[in-house]
Amino acid sequence: MRSVTLTAIAALSLGMAGAQAASITGTVTGPDGKPFRAAFVQARNADSKITVSVLSGNDGKYHIEDLAGGTYGIQIRAPGYQADAKSDVKLGPNDRTFKAYVLLYHHALPNFYFHTTTAYDILRHYGVELGKRDFMGQMPG
């Protein structure tokens, strides 16, 4: 039986929500070393036993995202080919620490102003008489 080869790269994508979403990307190649399309790629968490499956693209590449931290076993399958597996792909923990000013200026305040502005716009759209002073407040002095 012929075999296909799996190349996996574990990556961490940092999100602004405070949690860290892990992802696994890689390329499936055939016996000739060329990209293998439509291979069935599975990532199984060793602790929770949760399995996520994707198909490799036309270029042989695959991307599995939004994974919890932990150790994963990766397996690929394709009709007419011997299954290939890679174990112990370790992804980082699902925790993230922030410095207070980073959280405040890059997450909390932009979200506050976005939602305040959106609420103001919705109220204006439905005919509530609001003006600039209602949005900004009274000027000091």
Domain boundaries, the chain: 2-91, 100-136
Please state, in angstroms and rounded to a whole number, the distance separating the CA atoms of residues 75 and 91: 16
CATH code reported for the domain at 2-91? 2.60.40.10
Q: What is the pLDDT of residue 54?
A: 92
Q: Is the pLDDT of residue 62 over 70?
A: yes
| Predicted TM-score (pTM) of this structure | 0.53
Q: What is the pLDDT of residue 12?
A: 39
45 Cβ partners below 8 Å, 6+ apart? 51, 67, 68, 70, 71, 72
Q: What is the pLDDT of residue 79?
A: 81
40-44, 63-67, 107-111, 133-137, range with the lowest pLDDT: 133-137
Q: Are 46 and 71 in contact (CB under 8 A)?
A: yes
